[in-house]
Amino acid sequence: MLNGYPLWKYLAVILIIATAALYALPNVYGEDPAIQVKGTRGASLDASTLDSIISALHKENISYKSAVLQNGIILIRFFNDTDSQINAQDIIKEVLDKDKIIALSFASAAPKWLEVIGAKPMKLGLDLRGGVHFLLEVDMNDVVGKFVAHRVEELRVELRKKKIHYRAVRSFLSSNSIEVLLRNNKQLIQVKQLLKFKYPDMSFIESNIGRNLKLTSTFSESRLEEIRNYAVKQNIIILRKRVNELGVAEPLVYRQGVNRIVVELPGLQNIAHAKEILGATATLEFREVDEQTNLVSNPRASVPLGSDIRQDRYGYPVALKKRVILDGSSITDATSSFDEYGRPQVNISLNQKGGSKMLAFSRRNIGRKIATVFIEYRQDTSEKNALIKNEEVINQAIVQSVLGRNFRITGISSILEAQNLALLLRAGTLIAPISIVQERTIGPSMGEKNIDMGVMACIWGMMSVMLFTLVYYRQFGLIANVALIVNLILIIGIMSILPGATMTLPGIAGIVLTIGMAIDANVLIFERIREELFEGYNPQQAIHRGYLNAFGTIVDANITSLIAAVILFVVGTGAIKGFAVTLSIGLLTSMFTSIIGTRCVVNLLYSRKRMHRLSI
């Protein structure tokens, strides 16, 4: 048969269109304003927490659509009323403990059966639906304090290497200075020579304290400014990694002022999780357990000078050696999984330097205990911008064999906690703690009027093209119009399916442009069919030759446009990427609907007919 497809091809086309239509359907239902409530570090919430929230909302006469507890997270939906949403957030904050994360969000209003198959509405950019805006502040005192403490430790090591005796080396964070106490002038001269050679970024002042000589070293302001700038830049890099781990498309992470960072996450659904991951300053330390000091059996036991006390997750004190074997900066990868007993664990991979340290320690300490200390800075909700440092021993293990660059951490309470810990370690440890100064969901930056105008431009452009093709190509024009509608459904469906795709206002412009380009392919095919009819071919032959001869031209034209769109996506940022995404998808779907989709319809309508003329 000249104009016929095998059955499987018709079924494949129907399946593709039906799937796209199914996944595009949630966009019809829209979204509800919502509030997410989540426990920190993956902790699950229970029904009592939900009951207390519901009681508080009823007491304040705040109406809501639904309140459910699912997978340890509470989601409260509201009746398209952002005022109720914001008021409810304030009430919930008063009711719940400080360790709960409460965040504004949006939840799909689509039926449950669509959620079951994973169908969700398109993620809209900040210029269409808005999103979440975080203003973060970097703790500059902590940045400088860590640098000074590191320099003190480094200086002690250097003095020991050079066999220079000293009475004390101590730091003063208030003045960002280091003091070295010495016994005599000979030691003073040796230390000055070492410091001038090793640390040219420091200035020195000599003085006397009783029988001791004191050498005070201070950092230049330019060096301190360099440290602060480095900390902000590194934090921005790490925050971008964390945003990528969250799967957010087209995020904005940029510096504002001296010590602040702005993070904008368009179209984000799980805002509570983002708030926890972005705001967390978490790392690990591996330290040797001081087994000579058992504080559980003997709480009054004195702790040696080289050790200090930390608590495990059950509140029991643990004595640890002060010397850190290695910290989170040595971790190159971290993944969550289950051990042979089905318990959650985190698999750690170290860099070469960290692997060498762990190898040397484990070789010397087989049979001894090593502790994993989880260090986290949490924001104190009772005091603005204040951070609370929390250190917890999450694991104590006996070194049973020599360890290398890969090992695992057990003793984690839940798989969610393991996933969060792995994500934080994998994305990198923040150089300095950050606090969330401001958090808000922001509305469309271009305004509702401009959004409506963009949608109306799309509708009127489509209607104009459809009217022209219907008048000019008659019955074949009707087929082209059906293909144009299907093309739009395919674009929306693919944008809804793709996890990283976000619809923006420039994206709407890409769809409008695609509509024009999609009809171009049909015009080429229909004009070729007309030419074949004028050449004397019968209608069946004209249809066959028209599609066959137009195929190469259509593919060439679309491939060159697709290359330009891919370059725009790779090189561009923000709005340009949004335009490139919809343009690329539109080019691919237009080729599908124009070449294959319309051919299927034409074959079904005309393949079994004896015709002397075509309505084209």
In the predicted model, what is the mean pLDDT of the chain?
81
Q: Which has more pLDDT, 612 or 182?
A: 182
Per-residue pLDDT, averaged over 3-25, amounts to 90
- With contact defined as beta carbons under 8 Å apart, do 510 and 517 qualify? no
Cα 127 off chain centre by: 19
Q: Where in the chain is the domain with CATH 3.30.70.260?
A: 31-109
Question: Rounded distance, CA 615 to CA 74, Å?
Answer: 59
Q: Where in the chain is the domain with CATH 1.20.1640.10?
A: 7-25+445-606
Which pLDDT score, from 0 to 100, does residue 85 have? 83
Q: Which has more pLDDT, 542 or 614?
A: 542
Question: Rounded distance, CA 610 to CA 213, Å?
Answer: 111
Q: H-type helices in 498-538, by residue range?
A: 505-534
Q: Is 257 exposed, middle or buried (0-12, 13-18, 19+ CB in 10 A)?
A: exposed
Which pLDDT score, from 0 to 100, does residue 319 have? 86
How large a percentage of the chain has pLDDT more than 70? 87
- With contact defined as beta carbons under 8 Å apart, do 3 and 546 qualify? no
Inform me whether the pLDDT recorded for 434 exceeds 70: yes
How big is the chain, counted in residues?
616
Which pLDDT score, from 0 to 100, does residue 456 have? 83
Q: Which of 468, 505, 484 is nearest to 589 (CA)?
A: 484
Kindly report the CATH number that applies to the domain delimited by 7-25+445-606.
1.20.1640.10
What are the beta bridge partners of residue 126? none
User: Mind listing the pLDDT tens digit for each residue in 270-325?
Assistant: 666 677 667 666 667 888 888 877 776 666 667 777 788 888 877 788 888 888 88
CB contact set of 489 (below 8 Å; sequence gap of 6+): 17, 20, 21, 24
Which pLDDT score, from 0 to 100, does residue 208 have? 78
Inform me whether the pLDDT recorded for 348 exceeds 70: yes
Which pLDDT score, from 0 to 100, does residue 448 have? 61
Tokens linked to 149: 């403490």
Which pLDDT score, from 0 to 100, does residue 268 have? 63
Which pLDDT score, from 0 to 100, does residue 240 have? 80
Q: Which residue has the tokens 């921005």?
A: 236
Inform me whether the pLDDT recorded for 15 exceeds 90: yes
Which pLDDT score, from 0 to 100, does residue 378 have? 63
What are the beta bridge partners of residue 266? 131
Which pLDDT score, from 0 to 100, does residue 447 have? 52
Which pLDDT score, from 0 to 100, does residue 494 have? 92
pTM: 0.60
Residue-by-residue DSSP string for 74-127: EEEE-SS-HHHHHHHHHHHHHHS-TTEEEEEEEEE-S-HHHHHTT--PPEE-TT
- H or E stretch including 327? strand 317-327
| Domain 141-223, CATH among 2.40.128, 3.30.70, 3.30.1360, 3.30.1050 | 3.30.1360
What are the beta bridge partners of residue 181? 168, 214
User: Mind listing the pLDDT tens digit for each residue in 233-244?
Assistant: 888 887 887 776
Kindly report the CATH number that applies to the domain delimited by 31-109.
3.30.70.260
Q: Where in the chain is the domain with CATH 3.30.1360.200?
A: 280-440
DSSP 301: P
User: Mind listing the pLDDT tens digit for each residue in 512-542?
Assistant: 888 877 888 888 898 898 888 888 888 888 8
Which pLDDT score, from 0 to 100, does residue 353 have? 83
Answer positive or negative: Cα dihedral of 509, 515, 516, 521: positive
The region, left, alpha or beta by phi > 0 then psi within -120 to 50, assigned to residue 247 is left
User: Mind listing the pLDDT tens digit for each residue in 223-272?
Assistant: 888 888 888 888 888 788 777 655 454 567 888 888 889 888 775 656 66
Band of residue 124 on the pLDDT scale cut at 50, 70, 90: confident
Half-sphere exposure of 583 (CA within 13 A, CB side): 23
- With contact defined as beta carbons under 8 Å apart, do 93 and 60 qualify? no
Q: Which has more pLDDT, 104 or 8?
A: 8
Contacts 24+ apart (CB under 8 A), 148-152: 148/173, 148/176, 148/177, 148/178, 148/219, 151/178, 151/199, 152/178
User: Mind listing the pLDDT tens digit for each residue in 133-148?
Assistant: 888 888 888 888 878 8
Inform me whether the pLDDT recorded for 572 exceeds 80: no
In CATH, what class is 280-440?
A: alpha beta
Question: Rounded distance, CA 614 to CA 597, Å?
Answer: 19
CB contact set of 112 (below 8 Å; sequence gap of 6+): none
- With contact defined as beta carbons under 8 Å apart, do 544 and 607 qualify? no
Helix, strand, coil shares of the chain as percentages rounded to 5? 50, 25, 25
Question: Rounded distance, CA 53 to CA 517, Å?
Answer: 52
Tokens linked to 609: 């007919």
C-alpha angle 568-269-571 in degrees, rounded to nearest 5:
10
Question: Rounded distance, CA 137 to CA 133, Å?
Answer: 13
Question: Rounded distance, CA 616 to CA 612, Å?
Answer: 13
Which pLDDT score, from 0 to 100, does residue 298 have? 67
Question: Rounded distance, CA 485 to CA 466, Å?
Answer: 10
Which pLDDT score, from 0 to 100, does residue 418 have? 80
Best-predicted range by mean pLDDT (88-92, 368-372, 420-424, 492-496) = 492-496
Beta strands 281-289 and 317-327 are antiparallel
